[in-house]
Amino acid sequence: MFGIFLSRILDADDYGMVGMLTVFSLIASTIQESGFTAALANKKAINHEDYNAVFWFSALVGLSLYIILFFCAPLIARFYDTPELTILARYSFLGFFISALGTAHHAYMFRNLMVKQKATTMIISITLSGIVGITLAFLGMSYWGIATQSLVYIISVSTCYWFFSSWRPTFQLNFKPLKGMIGFSSKLLISNIFVHINNNLFSVLLGKLYSEKEVGYFTQANKWNYMGHSFATGMLQGVSQPVLAQMRGDTDRQRNAFRKMLRFTAFVSFPTMFGLSFVSRELIIIAITDKWLPAVDIMQLLCIGGAFIPIIRLYSNLIISKDKSG
């Protein structure tokens, strides 16, 4: 809902400015997380030292990456031939460092299937960030409103993770527990980096070869696609991997549970995404006005492909659950 209001107020150029930085933020966030959330969820026995090692590793890597990208911001702006991106990049990239401070707490909630708390976290974060984003947009802050909305969302999520999680880090820099997880997590890290590059390469090329407006249309279309397949799977994606990991010792039980998840996911995903593709023109006009009509064709194609994303993620979670992290 907040995104709809923002889209009505702002233009494609504003979304394009932020969209050109997305791939850098996603890759940096993936590196600082390094697959340890799934690795912790997969571990049979886990203790404070495991969480603590992941916390300090993520925090230090996140800080290092932010410093590197802070000084690389002028190069990114030069690549896109958009000088304004230098300050915007340095501001936006604060997000993945802040998110690093909640990585271990997220892993704790993920492993312990704290679905209710995660849902509450999302509601609080979306509401707070949405109010801030719309307020700044009304004040004429343009793309700064979108960037600040994302930053407030990340701060809210990390804060809620700390609030709902009973685990707390200690000032003990011992990274030995990571050795038992690095073989598992490194595979996820490499895989996730390639996924983000593949999913965002088009927006990079649009920003380089065309203008912020084209990137904005693609960003808007991709946002609707993401909302569609996220709605289609709901909280199932958030619990499928730890649930399947708990059944790792019972192959028949795991297989039956996976089949039920797969049937439910397909039953919801395909009608939702194909339907969204079919009504995309009318939806765009009604929800965010006809100024976004150039995004319709892109949205239709993305939604067709998006119908298969929940299925792919479910299979990925099954594969991850069969592996071992120590």
Report in angstroms the alpha-carbon separations of 58 from 47, 51, 125.
17, 11, 22
Q: Is 308 helix (H, G, I), strand (E, B) or coil?
A: coil
Q: Binning pLDDT at 50, 70 and 90, where does residue 235 land? A: low
3-class SS of residue 235 = coil
Under 8 Å CB-to-CB from 115, ≥6 apart: which residues?
235, 238, 239
Q: What kind and span of H or E run contains 86?
A: helix 85-92
Write the single-letter amino acid at 50: D
- Cα 271 to Cα 228, 303, 315: the distances in Å are 11, 11, 19
Better-predicted residue by pLDDT, 103 or 202: 103
Q: Give yes or no for residue 324 having a pLDDT over 60.
A: no
214, 281 contact by CB (below 8 A):
no
**Cα dihedral 56, 59, 64, 65 sign:** positive
Does residue 278 register a pLDDT over 90? yes
Q: What is the pLDDT of residue 5?
A: 82
What is the DSSP code string of 106-156? HHHHHHTT-HHHHHHHHHHHHHHHHHHHHHHHHTT-THHHHHHHHHHHHHH
Give pLDDT, residue 211: 78
Which range is most confident: 83-92, 167-176, 193-202, 262-271?
83-92
Q: Are 121 and 157 in contact (CB under 8 A)?
A: yes
206 compared with 305, residue with greater pLDDT: 305
CA dihedral 317, 308, 161, 110 (to 10 degrees): -20
**What pLDDT, in 10s, does the model give residues 99-145?**
999 999 998 888 887 888 988 998 999 999 999 999 998 898 888 99
pLDDT in tens, 219-228: 889 888 988 8
Residue 97 has pLDDT above 70, yes or no: yes
Residues 6+ apart with CB under 8 A from 316: none
Residue with tokens 């088009």: 202
Mind listing the pLDDT tens digit for each residue in 20-75? 898 888 888 888 777 877 788 777 778 899 999 999 999 998 999 999 999 999 99
Give the whole-angstrom CA distance, residue 218 versus residue 296.
9
DSSP 1: -
Token readout for 89 is 């990049």
Q: What is the pLDDT of residue 238?
A: 66
* C-beta separation of 289 from 8 below 8 A: yes
The per-residue pLDDT for range 151-201, each reduced to its tens digit, is 999 999 999 999 999 899 998 888 888 887 777 777 777 877 887 777 777
pLDDT confidence of residue 114: 87
Q: Tell me the average pLDDT of the chain.
A: 86
pLDDT of residue 326: 44
Q: Compute the average pLDDT of residues 1-11.
A: 81
Distance CA 238, CA 13 (A): 33
Q: How confident is the model at residue 236 (pLDDT cuts 50, 70, 90)?
A: low
* Per-residue tokens: 51: 């969480």
